[in-house]
Structure 1
Amino acid sequence: MKTRAHLTLVNELETSAIDIADRGLAYGDGLFETLRVVDGKIPLLSYHLERFKRGTKALDLGETEMLAGKFERYVGLALKDLTKAAHLKRAIIKVILTRGQGGRGYAPPDEPELNFITQVFESPEFPETNSAQGITLHLCDHKLSHQPVLAGIKHLNRLDQVLASKDLAKSGYEEGLMLDYKNNVVEGTKSNLLIFTGKDIITPNISGAGVAGTLRQYLLDNAALTGLALREAEISIEDSKSADGLAVINSVFGLWPVKEFAGKRYAIHKNCGIIQSHLKTSFSY
């Protein structure tokens, strides 16, 4: 199913055209952020901005604060456009930053002319049963590439997720779990993982691969608000199978409990409800 953008800006020009020599297209040379909008506000905007800034530094795209300012400007333009679309109370803003046109060859230009692409989409609809009754988690065959320099940021090269999502689509399940080359659990195709074991809530370490999700970081930072402390650790597939409960989290859909994974059925852990209640109150999930 194709999803048409309500608005597309390339820099400040309303157009869907971009130079075919753009390095984002040729090499995945750039970053992106996907922001959930509810009633004209972006609940986790500061976390998206911080991850964007880390990405500009990792890819050496330019002066970080200047680029962060442009990011905020283009998000503001998208929000302004949404005020004219009364039917879009909930929406998605996607901001892409590429290194711009670079000609042939991998080496980037000394003074690149960066491109910001800003798009507005209708918010995706998910079955309410995903949150209330849980999902079945598929174990993806494709494994994540190990690259500590790029781990955590949302760079444009998403081939690992593309291949894993193709595998997931064949399974018919709602989300897929991805491992690294050591067979440790890292993340879902579009989410981070929470593991409930006794009193512990653990999320896999992503220092070598994976995305530092904004909701994941919020939960790591705000134990005092949720009443639940989340910590990072290296997690094996066996740890996941023996856990008391599992859940996947994402800044777009919130938290989905896992009811089945790798042939094991899980009861919805009580802490899922605690987190969901906090997210509903704080961010209207």
Structure 2
Amino acid sequence: MASIAPQFEQLLNHLKARVPEYVHPLLDLSAAAHFLLNPPDPNDNPAGRWFLEALSANLLPDAIRDDRSAAWRLTTVIVVDADRRARITTFMVGALTHSAPAIFPEWAASVLDDATRSAIRDAFQAASSLTDSDRSFFCFPLLPPNGPGRIERRSIGLPIALTALSALTGKPMADSMIATGDIDPANSPFSVRPVADIPAKADVACRSGFRLLLIPAKGESALQRDGISIKPVNDLEQAWLWARFYAPGWEIELDLLYHTQNEPGLLVDRSRMRHTVKSFGSRRSCW
């Protein structure tokens, strides 16, 4: 480790010399995110272990870096600036194996307003209730502390809740999926509440290459964009179903699966309808 650590530090300092000083913590956080997602083995990757141990506790508390069994996920969210421009940003979400003193680093208050932090707490509460889990969470945005890009309001509740479910269950989400919406943590299945600026968010999601956007069913439910499927969802359970299993062409099957959870007879009716259509087509081909 003695020979590798200085090389890694030299590389990081070289990168920092090329960007404004306020971006330096973001480089540290980005490197930390990589090593949290890919826990370094002290023998195979001593530089990674050295970096996490040397990282300032002001950025990530010691207890978070020392939890080597935590399940971490990287997720993308859509946020809207004060001038109503939508953009994509990234969060780290970890399901910990021990209790944590807080779910955010102290500097998070400089980039997340009260409503956003409250929405994240509610998202974690809903994910824990849905999975009957007592694990603690930790969350931080990949943004420079005290830098530009402050995140406001509650629309990241749904993507954070989905990411927490992925971390708790160990199950991946569909590629090219992104979501926006607020979570009501009061009662299962945890309603997805309306949020603002859905058209702008759909535009940036499409431009960024996403193929599925989950939005609240209440609000812009008829919204359409070329190149992206926009799915209105009623609650967290429905959103999780789509986030887990979405693939182009599976829209009808996913809707059917969701509705049959409460009305099993729909599956029988659907099977009968398919059989009738198939039989009618066979007879017609003989005419």
- Mark yes or no: TM-score above 0.5: no
Which structure has the highest strand share of the two? Answer: 1
Q: What TM-score does the superposition give when structure 1 sets the normalisation length?
A: 0.26
Larger Rg computed on CA atoms: 2
